[in-house]
Amino acid sequence: MLADFEMAMMMFFLIIAVVFGGTEMVAMVSTEFSVQSEAQVVAMSEGHYGGYTDFEKSSVELYIDNYCQNNGLDSAQATVGVSAAGAPVPYGTDVTSVITIPFKFMQIRNFMPGALIYLTGKGRSVSSYIQGMTPDVAYVSP
């Protein structure tokens, strides 16, 4: 009789662990997709303007600040890397962007602190910049 109770309790805790783990995996994968999408948007904009502009920089900073503020993380831990920083690149050149943000895996409020991992999104596009064809924009570095 005691063995049946122990088996039932073990199964209960196993089911709870699988549910929590599955929930965290869904949260992590959806965050990864969000970061990947943002990186691709940055790369597409780089391709359109031929480089990393002040508009893209403010958009990425807003995305990172909102994400970190909503999850109680430090936005200084996030990094942004672009291939076309500071000046436009010629037509047909590959441009890339990489955004890395922190993610607390298996954090349960103050009960369990969780493990800090980094999620990376990568975007790629081709520059369609032709001198004089786009409005004046300010090229910046991340």
Q: What is the pLDDT of residue 79?
A: 93
Question: Is position 138 within any domain?
Answer: no
Task: Specify the DSSP element, H or E, that contains 1.
Answer: none
Which pTM value belongs to this model?
Answer: 0.84
- Residue 132 in any domain: the answer is no
Residues 83-114 have pLDDT tens digits of 988 888 999 999 999 999 999 887 776 777 77
pLDDT at 72 over 90: no
Q: Is residue 134 part of a domain?
A: no
Please report whether residue 133 resides in a domain.
no
Instruction: Tell me if 29 is assigned to some domain.
Output: yes
> Cβ distance 51 to 84 under 8 Å?
yes
- Confirm if 97 and 104 have CB atoms less than 8 A apart: no
In a domain, 115, yes or no: yes
In this model, does residue 2 exceed pLDDT 80?
no
The reported pLDDT for the residue numbered 126 is 95
In a domain, 136, yes or no: no
Split into its structural domains, the chain has a count of 1
